[in-house]
Structure 1
Amino acid sequence: MNKSIYNNYEHQMAYHCAPTIKGIKCGSMVAFTVDSDNSFRNFLESHAKCFQCHGLAYLQLSRQRNHTLMFFYRPQLLTRLLRRPLAIDILKSFDYPVEKGIDEASLPALLEHLKNRIADCEGFPHEIGIFLGYPPTDVQAFIDNKGQNFLYSGFWKVYTNEAAQKHLFQCYNDCINDMCDRLRAGESLSEVMGAA
């Protein structure tokens, strides 16, 4: 495999997933630019064991020409955050199968519904923020306000707890900068993940 392609996938993943890799965020999405199906498949296969060892799962959400949208997530943390009452209410409003409760065994059905919603929507479905760890109050406020009237915009549009979210965004940025700096310095993604 072309080493520069391989490094490019590692850098894209570090830039978009560092907080999830580090365990301070439940999930991250990456729209990888895919040079060839084989190169990207090789990247995923060569890192699969490392991802698994570090509690990271992944799923392809969509594919268009030379881009693939991937979701990297921590099943336990995601399950816990999806169980919040307002999160459940939001998911119910978009027909997610949550009637029997949410646990790790129900995640595949929820994620399959998310994939279908992405396929059916122009842009992204608003509830995707729930899967990315955004506070349900901010997701609901975003929906109610049609994306307007927010207090602050960073990793998402903030409607509540502005100071706390700004602090969290700084933690995310510090994590991203550290991971990207280490990759630029010559460490591999596996080495960086081992130290996360």
Structure 2
Amino acid sequence: MSREIWEIMRKLRGDEIELQIAFQCAPLITGLKESNLLNIRKQDYQRMKDIFKESELTIYPLGIHAGKITVFLYHRERLEKFFSGESVLALLHEIGYIDTDLKQVLPVFRTHYQQYLKEKKVFPHEMGLLLGYPPEDVKGFIHNQGKNYLYSGYWKVYDRPHEKIRLFQKYEHSREKLIQLLSYGMRIEEIIAICSNTEIWQLVDCDCQYAS
């Protein structure tokens, strides 16, 4: 992220949860990613629900740990499409899932995630798939125990690193643009609404690039 954007973030005042959402969930909001994990303060939970209530994104709480709520945010249609891929289904079966329907996977994952936070023993590798990570990278992470990766960015990459690096660059671009829009005085709800319309978002994105 550029120094200019860090300066913008430092100077931004107002709703802290808006900045956190823009910073952490930009790839999801702009349609580049299927889902995202978000750790927020308990007092920010209702505000977060209000932010997303008119959006296409679904909020799925995973639990409370160390005074914060972990929330799984996802675009149902995009994530279900991702879950229909043969390699994703095969890896879910390998991990131990019999029913690979998203509605069935989520509550099982929540239990696994809460157990991991308490015991720090068995890591729920299905998390990578739920976050839309390429199955070849999730499988590589499992088989290599998180080592021997080719590149580390938003996740550890085990295959086609150049392709993933370009994708990570798009993620960074989306993050910078959303923070820019906040700095122009837009509310995060307005930004989410704009991003849900592909044609309008492309125009706004171009304007941001010109302004920068």
Normalised by the size of structure 1, how large is the TM-score? 0.84
Distance 2:13 2:188 in 1: 13
Partner in structure 1 of residue 183 of structure 2: 184
Name structure 2 gaps, 5 residues minimum: 1-11, 196-212
Of 29, 32, 36, 1:28 maps to 36
Query: For the Cα contact (< 8 Å) 1:97–1:110, is it kept in 2?
Result: no
Query: For the Cα contact (< 8 Å) 2:17–2:48, is it kept in 1?
Result: no
State the one-letter code of the partner of 2:128: G
Distance 1:120 1:92 in 2: 20
Distance 1:142 1:71 in 2: 21
Aligned-residue offset at 1:172: 0.4
Query: For the Cα contact (< 8 Å) 2:45–2:69, is it kept in 1?
Result: no
Partner in structure 2 of residue 49 of structure 1: 53
Query: What is the aligned-residue RMSD (CA, Å)?
Result: 2.0
**Residue 149 (structure 2) pairs with residue 150 (structure 1):** yes
Partner in structure 1 of residue 26 of structure 2: 18
Query: For the Cα contact (< 8 Å) 2:151–2:157, is it kept in 1?
Result: yes
Deviations 1:5-60, CA, capped at 9 Å, x for gaps = 971111111111111111110001111133x3xx422x134224322xxx211111
Most deviating of 138-147 and 117-126: 117-126
Query: For the Cα contact (< 8 Å) 1:26–1:132, is it kept in 2?
Result: yes
**Larger CA Rg, structure 1 vs 2:** 2
Normalised by the size of structure 2, how large is the TM-score? 0.78
Distance 2:109 2:14 in 1: 28
Name structure 1 gaps, 5 residues minimum: none
Partner in structure 2 of residue 96 of structure 1: 97
Structure 1 runs, 4 residues or longer, greater than 4 Å off: none
Most deviating of 122-131 and 68-77: 122-131
Number of residue-to-residue matches in the alignment? 180
Distance 2:14 2:72 in 1: 18
